[in-house]
Amino acid sequence: MTSHNVDYQKILNQIGQEFADKPRSGKVASYIPELAKVPADKYGMHLYDLNGNNYCFGDSNERFSIQSISKVFTLSLAMKVVGDQLWNRVGVEPSGDPFNSLSQLENDSGIPRNPYINAGAMVVADVLVSNFTNPKAALLAFLHEITGDTSIDFDPVVAASERSEGYRNYAMVNYLKSFGNIENSVEDVLDFYFHQCSISMSCRDLSNAFIIFANDGKVMGSDREFLTGRQVKRINALMQTCGFYDEAGEFSFEVGLPGKSGVGGGIVAVHPERFAVTVWSPPLNPKGNSALGMASLERLTTLTGFSIF
């Protein structure tokens, strides 16, 4: 159960102060033109615990492009609608390759290694396009339900920006389709995929949304089960092993929590039965993860003594 003797706010303040004056390493993502416009010095953190308390510092209420963090939400929705059938089309192994690798797909005959690399997320997108008349509305409805915040939305400018440079993603969906692992039109799948990546949320929004993964699939203060305990266990296991592309081992080693990163500079992590925490800092390390975000979460698990290991 949640620990009452940890002063999370004091710990977050300490993390914010420790990193305030340190030089920032990493580069803001530039291959999506809109992301390149985000100031590199943005930095915020928000922790939401299972007692319903919020702790934060910095730019934690400013919305940013969640990018690949959205893959956790689409996976959740796909597991709700098709259950274990999903695993016939996408694997559950770490990739060890960059998130947009094409060579791996060839070796694996069109079955993506896991749902958090781009190819896997596109198969998940295809599942949602098949199962919902309006998959974009269904995804937003799911987010609105688990957060209670109906202002969360896509950023059409970012979605258009993704499309303008989406050559590799076009190649990937076509390649998946050639193996028979995409049922819908390439355009429909990519339209959904570019929109899911463009969702704009703050650290606070994300911690609020991810609390279901720390709370057996339930929203805080409600007995309503959005996901089963078994589904949450699977989603968290995949975050632990696959949530950071080819740096998942490093994140497990340094931080020790299930989590998911996005090239917008956000990282969300959960400690089952304790909290969900989000940190945002746009400059990315060479593997595509927020450099300051990873360092901040390492400090959090070190200072609290809470990791899952």
Mean pLDDT split into 10-residue runs, the chain, 309 residues: 75 96 88 92 97 97 98 98 96 81 86 95 98 98 96 97 92 96 98 98 98 95 91 97 91 96 97 97 95 97 92
266 neighbors 293 (Cβ within 8 angstroms):
yes
8 known member of a binding site = no
- CATH number assigned to the domain covering 8-304: 3.40.710.10
pTM: 0.96
List Cβ neighbours of 5 (8 Å cut-off, separation of 6 or more): none
145 known member of a binding site = no
- 207 to each of 6, 7, 162, 185, 274, how far by Cα in Å? 18, 18, 25, 34, 12
**What pLDDT score does 159 carry?**
96
**What pLDDT score does 2 carry?**
45
Q: Give me the sheet containing 275-280, strands edge to edge.
A: 54-58, 44-49, 275-280, 266-271, 259-261
61 known member of a binding site = no
Neighbouring CB atoms inside 10 A of 10's CB total: 10
List Cβ neighbours of 37 (8 Å cut-off, separation of 6 or more): none
198 known member of a binding site = no
Burial of 263: CB neighbours in 10 Å, binned 0-12, 13-18, 19+: buried
- Give helix then strand counts, H and E, for the chain: 12, 7
Phi, psi of 187 (to 5 degrees): -60, -45
68 known member of a binding site = yes
271 neighbors 279 (Cβ within 8 angstroms):
no
> d(Cα 169, Cα 283) in Å, to the nearest integer?
23
**What pLDDT score does 1 carry?**
39
162 known member of a binding site = yes
263 known member of a binding site = yes
Distance between first and last Cα of the chain: 16
Neighbouring CB atoms inside 10 A of 91's CB total: 16
Helix residue ranges, H only, the chain: 8-20, 70-82, 103-107, 118-131, 135-147, 156-164, 167-178, 186-198, 203-210, 229-242, 248-254, 291-304
